[in-house]
Amino acid sequence: MQFELTKEYLDTLRDAVYRNDEPALLELVNDLHPADIAEVMDELGPDEALVLYKVMDADRASDVLMHLEEDSRENFLALLTPKEIAEQFIDHLDSDDAADMISELSDDQREQVIAQIEDRQQARDIVDLLHYEEETAGGLMAKELIKVDVNWTVSKAVKEMRKQAEQIEHVYTVYVVDENDLLLGRLQLKKMLLNPIRAKIADIYDPKIRSVQVDEDQVEVANIMEKYDLVALPVIDETGRLLGRITIDDVVDVIKEEAEKDYALASGISGNVESTDSIYVLTRARLPWLLIGLFGGILGARVIELYEGDLQLYPEMAFFIPLIAAMGGNVGVQSSAIIVQGLANNSMGLTGIWSKLKKEFSVALLNGAVCAVLIFTYNYFFNDSLALAYTVSLALFCVVLVAALFGTFVPLVLDKYEIDPALATGPFITTVNDVLGLFIYFLIGHLLYIS
């Protein structure tokens, strides 16, 4: 039932591609879902993909195209003329998918493709959609939806819906509008099943409906659909007119993207890169964060240099430099991660910055005390210098406290100024806490050894 891409399958397919063996190719992909065929095509070169694509009918081929990875799609479309792209794909796609695809083209290509779209309504819808910012409700929505006039009867509504339904794959919600397209509510399919066909829509529709403005941020859209368990959400303009609808599958992508972005940032990777991206793309996403680390390392070197005299007298101070630095980094990342996730989920409750800091401080007191006692015990038994044992424990305790407060504070402040708090996690927090930790360690060491 479930398709799994294997090397054997791919070899057989490639073979058929090179023989240009249409029946064999059809046989190989016939039972597959477009998403599966896309997975196969992602593994092929664009020329090979072209052969496979030519055996599919246009509806199927355009579905496959939408499931391709962005760079496979780009490479593949580069082989086609604007006329081919318009006729063979755009005319067969929902307006939102078509607009997404066209937005990936170069400005030049874009105009040419739009000019070639046969269905002029589709062309107008696409041009409309292209005007909206990508990461807003307008960028997510499709124009295709089913709507009925509040003044109709059930029987008239059913007739009209039949016409509209031919264009649409999934009927999630039937929207009720007035003669000016103002969104009034929704008509539950259940209600249509349960009422006589002469009933007036006005008497049976549900006026309670949640909608979003077309310029609403996509993350907010995702939060709303998730919180209220919605599968479709209508989009309206400033005057309340129904413009389109957003469906849950688009929002699932947004939710994943956001989670992945945060994860990547916490790991010191910017942008949405994948293991299959080019070496150049991977390096560009990672090097800047390493340079932050490098800069922090140089600062750290400067701090230690200040205490070179102490180090010459007590070289054992150097032993615990990595421990202090690592613990500061780890605690800071933990604290900031808790805050970043709380902010992302709107699960922070009503308490302010101070009560958050107080709580993190308590957790840090506990964690710091446990770690300090353990490291003291270790040094007491395995190291000769009691001064070192005191220094390391005390410094570790302080570093855990400072790192926790700093890790909590920074994302909260960033969020207050509407900067993505996830920027604070990962290498940035680690690096700052490294340097702070070294300062604390050597300062305490200096004071304790001298006395």
Binding to a copy of itself (CB under 8 A) within 309-348 occurs at 311-312, 315-316, 318-327, 329-331, 333-334, 336-339, 341-342, 345, 347-348
The span from the first CA to the last CA of the chain, in angstroms, equals: 75
Q: Give which of 187, 197, 112 is closest to 148, Cα–Cα.
A: 187
Q: Which of 78, 366, 419, 447 binds a copy of itself (CB under 8 A)?
A: 366
Question: HSE on the CB side for 282, CA within 13 Å?
Answer: 6
Report in angstroms how near the CB of residue 255 gets to a copy of itself at its nearest.
6
- Determine contact, residues 389/379, Cβ cutoff 8 Å: yes
The footprint of a copy of itself on residues 182-211 (CB under 8 A) is 189-190, 193-194, 210-211
Please report, as residue ranges, which positions from 54 to 93 form the binding site for a copy of itself (by CB under 8 A): 69
Contact status: 7 vs a copy of itself (CB under 8 A):
yes
Among residues 35 and 447, whose Cβ is nearest to a copy of itself?
35
CB of 17 to a copy of itself, least distance (A): 16
The Cα–Cα gap between 26 and 44 comes to: 16
Q: In 258-268, which positions are buried (b, 16+ CB within 10 angstroms) versus exposed (e)?
A: beebbebbbeb
DSSP code at position 241: B
Smaller CB separation from a copy of itself, 113 or 402 = 402
How many Å apart are CA 193 and CA 205, to the nearest integer?
13
Question: Cβ of residue 116: shortest distance to a copy of itself, in angstroms?
Answer: 27
375 binds a copy of itself (CB under 8 A): yes
Q: Which is nearer to a copy of itself, 131 or 256 (CB)?
A: 256
| Site size for a copy of itself (CB under 8 A) | 118
Pattern 123-152, binding to a copy of itself, x per CB under 8 A? ------------------------------
Least separation in angstroms between residue 81's CB and a copy of itself is: 29
The secondary element (H helix, E strand) that includes residue 235 is strand 232-236
Q: Is 359 in the site for a copy of itself (CB under 8 A)?
A: yes
Segment 401 to 430, residues that bind a copy of itself, using CB under 8 A: 425-427, 430
- Rounded to whole angstroms, the Cα distance separating 388 from 324 reads 13
CA distance 397 to 382: 20
Residue 283 binding a copy of itself, by CB under 8 A: yes
Whole-number Å distance between alpha carbons of 405 and 329 = 12
Task: Choose which of 23, 57, 108, 162 interacts with a copy of itself (CB under 8 A).
Answer: 162
Regarding 46 and contact with a copy of itself (CB under 8 A), the answer is no
Question: Which of 23, 279, 384, 451 touches a copy of itself (CB under 8 A)?
Answer: 279
| One residue of 108, 238, 305, 418 binding a copy of itself per CB under 8 A | 305
Q: Answer yes or no: are the C-beta atoms of 361 and 404 closer than 8 Å.
A: yes
Asked if residues 76 and 124 have their Cβ atoms less than 8 Å apart, the reply is: no
**Pairing outcome for strands 146-149 and 212-213:** unpaired
Output the DSSP codes for 411-441.
HHHHHHTTS-GGGGTTHHHHHHHHHHHHHHH
Q: Which of 374, 386, 419, 447 binds a copy of itself (CB under 8 A)?
A: 374
Q: Which stretch binds a copy of itself (CB under 8 A): 53-61, 81-89, 137-145, 369-377?
A: 369-377
The burial of 180, by beta-carbon neighbours within 10 Å (0-12 exposed, 13-18 middle, 19 or more buried), is given as exposed
Q: How far is the CB of 396 from a copy of itself (least distance, A)?
A: 8
Candidate segments 84-92, 128-136, 148-156, 364-372, binder of a copy of itself by CB under 8 A: 364-372
Burial 24-37 (b: 16+ CB within 10 A, else e): ebeebbeebebebb
Site string for a copy of itself, 232-251 (x = CB under 8 A): ----------------xx-x
Least distance between a copy of itself and beta carbon 110 (Å): 26
Closest among 404, 395, 401, 409 to 448, alpha carbons compared: 395
For a copy of itself, the closer of residues 105 and 396 by Cβ is 396
